[in-house]
Copies of this chain bind each other. A is one copy, B any other.
Amino acid sequence: MPDSSRYLQLQQIYQKELFEYVLPFWLNNSLDWKNGGYYCCLTRDGRIYETDKFAWMLGRELWTMSKMYNVYGRSSMYLDAARLGAEFIQKYAFTADNDVYFSFTEYGDPLVHPYNIFSECFICVGLAEYYRASQEEWAKEKAISVYRRIQERKKNPKGIWTKQISGKRAYSPLNMTMIEFMMFRELQGIVPDAELHAILNYNIDHFFSVHVDYPNRRVLERPLPDGRHDFSHMEGRLMTPGHTLETMWFLLDILISLGDDVHAHQITDIMLDTINFGWDEQLGGIPLYKDALNLPTEKLESNQRQWWVHAEALCSMLLAFKYTKNPVFWSWFTKIHEYTFSHFPDHEFGEWYGYLDRHGEPEFTVKGSKFKTAYHLPRALMQCDLWLGELLQEQPSDSI
């Protein structure tokens, strides 16, 4: 079992990574002081290689900058950065129906229709956190109205852009459940409690009755609506260990806050089986996708070791350890930590490489892209910093 000095040593590593290498990269390179909003497509050394802006990425960076302001003391540097995103979103992001365009030129001219409901989700939590930072009422009201619009749209999230023929292969995808847990954590105090808890209760029930495969202690990414797993098709067999672990640490955190120890222990059990399944013992690291029966997947990037997968895995193992004090979680946390911190960080230019090949070599050196901005990594560094701090607090004071 770790002692206080080990917690403190690790906490300093996470803080240093966050404040010296990660946040400065985004503050220095992503902020568009001229047009508002954030650039996200950045080379290894922070040059912009694409000026378009993407709703997911705008909402995510807005969340991160606001959260930094709210968690680490009210530095105007973070609030100014947050405001840049919030005002761009306010001006340009929304259609008349309160949906969110998928992407924009750097000037805010919309490029792609709102075919993806996760645009709304990230904008929603970004605005909620910005409201906590700025106390600007419009941001709170908008977060609430976008949340309600998501609840209307979620049964048919792609709307007219749905390619699947209705009723065929009607899997119940984990991503919507995951994002509902994420939004619950972020919207408390913004959306009325009764409304938020009714939706949470539905999702907890749905998760445990449809996504959890108890006999095999795993979370099904795409179960059938009755909870059976369709292993006869590759879509039904697709496993995404990083995604599952991300979902589970959101949910574990919620269950702990609700005092639901029965479900919480089920989750930590499944987390353990997930990391055992997901970790590549031969080459190290966690591949992006796996097939449940070890057959081929249809995803050409399956073998990549991506930054966000490892960031979420760190959160899941640390929270499971903090909750259970079971040393197996500490052992996994430190094993993932060693791999992650020896392969992903780039202390020359800041931020982490996003895309390692299966041998752990950076396959691409980009720091930001249509899919990568200031979100998973700073969130994980913050969470681990805070949880390590709490573990430190729990120690008898003479052990420090």
Choice from B109, B161, B296, B365 contacting A163 with Cβ under 8 Å: B161
Q: Say yes or no for A363: interface residue by CB 8 A criterion.
A: yes
A232-B43 Cα distance, complex, nearest whole Å: 15
Given A165-B112, A169-B111 in contact, is the A366-B43 Cβ separation under 8 Å?
A: no
Q: Say yes or no for A52: interface residue by CB 8 A criterion.
A: yes
A interface residue count range (under 10 / 10 to 19 / 20 to 34 / 35 or more): 35 or more
Instruction: Please name all residues of chain B whose beta carbon is closer than 8 Å to the beta carbon of A282 when the two chains form the complex.
Output: none
Q: Say yes or no for A298: interface residue by CB 8 A criterion.
A: yes
Q: Which stretch (A141-149, A269-277, A300-308) binds chain B?
A: A300-308
The dominant DSSP class at the A interface is loop
Given A41-B234, A161-B161, A233-B51 in contact, is the A301-B300 Cβ separation under 8 Å?
A: yes
Given A51-B232, A303-B363 in contact, is the A369-B296 Cβ separation under 8 Å?
A: yes
Interface residues in A32-72 (C-beta closer than 8 Å to B): 41, 43, 49-52
Q: Say yes or no for A364: interface residue by CB 8 A criterion.
A: yes
Q: Say yes or no for A168: interface residue by CB 8 A criterion.
A: yes
Choice from B50, B52, B168 contacting A111 with Cβ under 8 Å: B168
B-facing mask of A161-193, CB < 8 A → 1, else 0? 111110011000000000000000000000000
Enumerate chain A interface residues (CB-CB to B < 8 A): 41, 43, 49-52, 101-102, 109-113, 115, 160-165, 168-169, 232-234, 291, 295-296, 298, 300-304, 355, 357-358, 363-366, 369-370
Give 13 new A-B contacts, CB below 8 A, not counting A110-B168, A300-B304. Answer: A41-B296, A49-B291, A49-B295, A101-B165, A112-B163, A112-B165, A113-B162, A113-B163, A113-B164, A161-B163, A301-B301, A302-B364, A303-B363
